[in-house]
Amino acid sequence: MTHENRKSILFVCLGNICRSPLAEAVFRDIVETAGAARRFEIDSAGTGAWHVGNPPDPRSVEVGRRHGIDLSRLRARKVVGSDFDRFDLILGMDRSNVANLTAMAPASSRARIAEFHDFSTGTPRDVPDPYYGGDDGFEEVYRMIRAAAGSLFEKLGADMRGVSG
């Protein structure tokens, strides 16, 4: 397996406690289930620093648990400059995340920055910030993330097809 056939993806939201930890864990579940874990490096981060070091929001942990996904060991971190060199793909959960990422990117950034839904499905759609809403919002966010993560895996799998490892 050559370096080109390994893809690194950073999922980004505002706090790194609600949406992007779910995206990280759901996408990891998809690649592990497909036996493709070695082909991916997967992480998540926030553009804001309020929750650095904290576990995900209990409502995200709970919605993950209901769907068989364990988020409890994840810890929030902030996006750093080296992420733009380290990751092939940096996916913001909504338009404001993408705008923040674009503003933070060093001139030397090699990462492709895109909106998660737009890159994965071809249709722009914000994953809404569920932080100030109720539990229903987290279920809706989970469903959106699960669908887009499946599309992302199909898209990247097609790009990487024919390569063993």
19 part of the active site: yes
Residue nearest to ligand 4NP (CB): 15
CA dist 62 to 67, 68, 117, Å?
9, 10, 23
Minimum gap (Å) between residue 153 Cβ and ligand 4NP: 21
Rounded distance, CA 83 to CA 117, Å? 20
Rounded distance, CA 63 to CA 21, Å? 12
9 vs 14, beta carbon nearer ligand 4NP: 14
Minimum gap (Å) between residue 9 Cβ and ligand 4NP: 17
Smallest CA-to-CA distance from 26 within 38, 14, 9 is with 9
Rounded distance, CA 131 to CA 129, Å? 6
Span 57-86, contacts to ligand 4NP by CB under 6 A: none
116 vs 119, beta carbon nearer ligand 4NP: 116
75 part of the active site: no
126 part of the active site: no
Q: Which of 37, 38, 50, 106 binds ligand 4NP (CB under 6 A)?
A: 50
Report helix, strand or coil for 44: strand
Active site residues: 13, 19, 129
**Interface residue list for ligand 4NP (CB under 6 A):** 13-19, 46, 50, 129, 131
